[in-house]
């Protein structure tokens, strides 16, 4: 169930791209397929969020099916860029056959990634983009579309009127910055008044809860709030905001839309404390990244951009087959 997925105010997703095209030899094997057992280094942004655990499950599934040695290693926290750079450098020194990377920062990871490519190691980027580096493929949610779905969901819940706030994630994270951009565009187009969008929750649930409490304090009015809606762009900020609202006994009294999923967040949707969650499909990202890397290493070609889709989960569709499949039920 923890392979939680992508979501938006209406369901959506990319067409599966599991079969990479490739040239074949007379034996029916792709050109360059020597039967070698490949070693692939997979570097997530962190190791604590349920999102990465779900991605690892998908990567493990594909690795077993393709007889791959999968080396999964990332920083403990999603704000440790130096630790992630070190993992990229270590895998490059080990001369792994391929690298899959979810960059913590779209600029800070450019140099080590380019060095790996220059040494002949193919790289696939997942989840979050990397600036000015040509890699084999980018496998991710269309994050701007996901953010727009969150904005549309909140606007619909508020009948296109009211004051709203957004708690950002972290500077330099391309995926969440795209979601934030999409949300702001949709919210403003719908007529919502965004009264705060400058605060960042940070990489952990704890930092996000602290920032949420500080942000909500600005809009405290009597026993309630002077705002009507809230948007958060990832799991940690959504969880931190939920806890802050619960501690103030305001959960469910303000319309709240989040991004990503966990057991606690899904329970909050069921309880009416969260209006909706825009879910990604991290398990699919992990699975496709390993499959596509194997195809590349065997001499095939892979799509430069694969959209793994976004789906909106609300109380009204929690028990549908589509959502159950997304959540691994």
Are 47 and 95 members of one domain? Answer: yes
Residues of the chain with pLDDT under 50: 1-31
Instruction: Tell me how many domains the chain contains.
Output: 2
Task: Compute and round to an integer the Cα radius of gyration of the chain.
Answer: 20
Whole-number pLDDT of residue 90: 98
Whole-number pLDDT of residue 14: 34
What's the chain's length in residues? 329
User: H helices within the chain, ranges in order?
Assistant: 50-65, 81-94, 110-118, 143-157, 174-190, 205-217, 235-247, 263-270, 282-297, 321-326
- CB count in 10 Å sphere of residue 132: 8
Residue 270 sits in a domain whose CATH number is 3.40.50.2300
The reported pTM is 0.83
Q: Residue 36: helix, strand or coil by DSSP?
A: coil
Whole-number pLDDT of residue 44: 98
Kindly state the DSSP code that residue 120 receives in the 8-state scheme. T
Is 327 part of any domain?
Answer: no
List the domain range (segments joined by +) for residue 88.
Answer: 39-141+281-302
Query: What span, in angstroms and rounded, lies between the C-alpha atoms of 302 and 305?
Result: 9
Are 273 and 159 members of one domain? Answer: yes
Are 74 and 184 members of one domain? Answer: no
Are 164 and 266 members of one domain? Answer: yes
Whole-number pLDDT of residue 22: 35
Are 148 and 274 members of one domain? Answer: yes
Whole-number pLDDT of residue 18: 35
Are 86 and 155 members of one domain? Answer: no
Whole-number pLDDT of residue 19: 35
Whole-number pLDDT of residue 33: 57
Is 6 part of any domain?
Answer: no
CA angle, 326 as apex, 60 and 265 as ends, to 5°? 100
């Amino acid at each position: 169930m923890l392979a939680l997925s992508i979501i938006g105010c209406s369901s959506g997703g990319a067409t599966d791209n599991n079969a990479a095209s490739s040239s074949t030899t007379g034996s029916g094997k792709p050109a360059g397929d020597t039967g070698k057992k490949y070693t692939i280094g997979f570097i997530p942004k962190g190791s604590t969020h349920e999102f990465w655990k779900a991605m690892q499950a998908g990567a493990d599934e594909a690795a077993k099916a393709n007889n791959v040695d999968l080396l999964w290693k990332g920083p403990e926290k999603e704000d440790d860029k130096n630790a992630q750079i070190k993992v990229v450098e270590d895998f490059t020194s080990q001369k792994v056959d391929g690298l899959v990377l979810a960059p913590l920062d779209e600029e800070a990871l450019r140099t080590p990634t380019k060095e790996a490519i220059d040494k002949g190691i193919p790289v696939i980027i997942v989840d979050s983009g990397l600036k000015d580096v040509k890699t084999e493929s980018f496998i991710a949610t269309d994050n701007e579309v996901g953010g727009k779905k969150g904005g549309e969901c909140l606007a619909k819940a508020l009948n296109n009127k009211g004051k709203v706030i957004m708690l950002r994630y972290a500077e330099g994270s391309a995926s969440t910055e795209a979601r934030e951009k999409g949300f702001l565009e949709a919210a403003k187009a719908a007529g919502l008044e965004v009264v705060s969008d400058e605060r960042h929750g940070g990489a952990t649930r704890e930092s996000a809860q602290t920032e949420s409490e500080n942000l909500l304090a600005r809009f405290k009015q009597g026993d309630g709030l002077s705002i009507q809606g809230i948007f958060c762009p990832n799991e940690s900020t959504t969880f931190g905001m939920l806890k802050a609202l619960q501690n103030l006994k305001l959960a469910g009294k303000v319309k709240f839309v989040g991004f990503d999923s966990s057991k606690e967040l899904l329970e909050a949707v069921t309880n009416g404390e969260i209006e909706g969650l825009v879910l990604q499909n991290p398990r699919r990202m992990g699975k496709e990244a390993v499959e596509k890397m194997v195809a590349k290493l065997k001499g095939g070609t892979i799509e430069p951009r694969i959209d793994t889709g976004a789906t909106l989960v609300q109380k009204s569709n929690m028990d549908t087959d589509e959502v159950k499949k997304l959540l691994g039920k």
